[in-house]
Chain A
Amino acid sequence: MPLLNSGQIIGHYGEARWTPYAEAIASHYVNHVPFYLNVPTGLTGAADEETVVVSRPWKYDVLIFGAYVKGCIEGDDEADMVITEDSDQVITEDGDDVITEAGGGSIGGCDGQQIFLQVADRRSLLPWVTASPINAAPMSAFGGSDGRAMPLLKLPEAFFLPAGVELQHNFSVFGNLATGGSIDWVGVQLINPIGQQSPKEVEMPDGSTIPVGSRIPWFAVIGIGRETTLSGDLRFRFAAGARVLGYTQPVDCDVEIHDISCNFFLSYDNDGGNIDDIQFTLSDTGNRRVWSQNTTPAPALMGDTTKAYPALPWPKPYILKKGDQLELTMTNQGDNADIILTNGYLIIRGVKLCGL
């Protein structure tokens, strides 16, 4: 039964639905009011910049469902140049696009793919993104953005932010310059708790009782390709023909994995690559019956900011057991040695089944 009373709409390709955890918490409050929390990045265009931004605490409990992001980069040291000789003119017609590599000011640089974010609430300080490899995830894994098929991206599970608790954000860039930008968290304010105090526990549909706050988002980041450096900046490089293995960090409790996001469809396409050439197989080190026989093109496994599902869900969430890791075999089936996937990341998103 859809919670929102909007007629007999039984949607198949995505319907508005709250998770049982969110419903169980929200049912303890009389009033639900929309909530938008704007957090500017504070980036000023300096090289290798990092900022820490703490959101203002709010007076009501909040359930955060998803986010919208805005994050433009100005170009990196591999930005294209249009080279002309003396007195040449570059003539375009109205509406023509001048396409440069990702990071150029024209196309592909404003969806947060190359601005990185780590989040933790200031009560538990449990980080949402795994520490390895870069202790952050592209902003595009947290939110949708303007002008794309899906401007909002929802979290795998609603996050309960208690009244008076701030959210800490660490924004960073690697080798790119960024000025401004923001993330807008979208959710619901929960007002007038029944019984005059916030619930400490809620009951799930299977009858079990879990503490409120025991569901923390889990973002596991895997860099695509080999880890290298350029002028002191971290780079992941994935050359044509290469095959590389990648692993998620082992988890400290069970995680329910929901979807996978990535940040490279637009940039690789702009570089002349074919995103179907970037292929993966998936396996679980703790359960070898989770595996695929052949490599699979990226768009079948992950979403990015240009897609209706910026994080592509699995048909059914999968429980990755404590201590186990997901193993990804990455292959670049391209055959042009000049087209290299640079600074691509994929983000496996889920919810940790343990928190406070």
Chain B
Amino acid sequence: MFYISKRTQEILDCYQNHLPIVDTVQIGFTGTASERPPRCETDQVSADVLWFALNRDFAQTDVLISIQSITPQYAWMISAQAQPQLTPIGAVAGASDQVMPLLPLPTPFFVESNGVITMQFQNSATDPVDEGLITWIGVKLTGPINGGWRGYTASK
């Protein structure tokens, strides 16, 4: 299910230990249509992490999401419109009523120690969600060899 590309293998090779990590984040929907609750974040981890896949605990497909990472600071979603629209959640996270409740990312994403992923959600306009959880599945990288992987800031 998960594809370990050459670059992903290069990252894994910079660490002695690869531990499973699961992070479930509370979204905080209140059941109000089209609401935008405050941004939520993954937990800080005192190790580098490779995030692989996402799951959500609600079925509504017209919930929208925008993802940004901190350390490294990258935006993930583009909507080049005069009125930009966030990304439908179904393109990003699997749900329990689907045959693939866990949807892999196009490529595993590397977050440095104490870095987080922040998410802005917008609730469904037709069938609003109450509460809501989003789960990230990844690999925690401990025992860095020569400082671990620093490819984002590598000079070559």
Contacts and interface: CB of A to CB of B under 8 A. Distances in A.
Direct contact of A and B (CB under 8 A): yes
Interface of A: 11-15, 149-150, 265, 275-276, 279, 281-282, 284, 287, 289-290, 292-301, 303, 306-309, 312-316, 318
Contact of B2 (A299, A300, A313): A313
Contacts of B47: 289
A324 B17 CA distance: 16
B96 A276 contact: yes
Nearest to B50: A315
B20 A300 contact: no
A301 B26 CA distance: 17
Given A13-B104, A316-B12, A293 B139 contact: no
A108 to B, nearest CB: 15
A318 B57 contact: no
A309 B24 contact: no
Nearest to A293: B43
A316 B22 contact: no
B22 to A, nearest CB: 4
B18 interface: yes
A72 B47 CA distance: 47
B23 A313 contact: no
Nearest to A276: B57
For B19, B26, B139, the residue with the greatest tally of chain A CB atoms inside 10 Å of its CB is B19
The 9 closest A-B pairs by CB, nearest first: A300-B55, A299-B101, A299-B96, A276-B57, A315-B52, A149-B99, A300-B135, A308-B99, A292-B22
Contacts of A303: 101
A78 B39 CA distance: 46
B145 interface: no
Nearest to B12: A316
Contacts of A11: 3
B99 A315 contact: no
A84 B58 CA distance: 36
Contact of A309 (B21, B25, B43, B100): B100
B53 A315 contact: yes
Contacts of A294: 23-26, 43
28 contacts: A11-B3, A150-B99, A276-B57, A284-B19, A287-B19, A289-B47, A290-B21, A292-B21, A292-B23, A293-B23, A293-B24, A293-B43, A296-B133, A296-B135, A297-B55, A297-B135, A299-B94, A299-B95, A300-B135, A300-B137, A309-B100, A314-B137, A315-B2, A315-B20, A315-B50, A315-B52, A315-B108, A318-B20
B65 interface: no
B91 interface: no
A147 to B, nearest CB: 12
Among A275, A279, A300, find the residue whose CB has the most chain B CB atoms closer than 10 A. Answer: A300
B99 A307 contact: yes
Interface of B: 1-4, 12, 18-26, 43, 47, 50, 52-53, 55, 57-58, 94-96, 99-102, 104, 106, 108, 133, 135, 137-140, 142
A153 to B, nearest CB: 12
Contacts of B4: 316
Given A13-B1, A289-B47, A300-B137, A307 B19 contact: no
B19 A290 contact: yes
A150 B99 CA distance: 9
A307 B23 contact: no
A85 B28 CA distance: 47
A314 B25 CA distance: 19
Contacts of A295: 24
A136 B135 CA distance: 31
Of the candidates A307, A314, A315, the one having the most CB atoms from chain B within 10 angstroms of its own CB is A315
B57 A297 contact: yes
Given A276-B133, A300-B55, A307 B22 contact: no
Contacts of A298: 96
A297 B138 contact: no
Contacts of A312: 1, 101-102
A11 B104 CA distance: 12
Nearest to A296: B24
Of the listed residues B3, B4, B52, B102, the one surrounded by the most CB atoms of chain A closer than 10 A to its CB is: B102
Given A290-B19, A297-B133, A315 B138 contact: yes
B55 A299 contact: yes
A275 B57 CA distance: 9
A315 B58 CA distance: 23
B113 to A, nearest CB: 13
Nearest to A11: B3
Contact of B139 (A275, A296, A316): A316
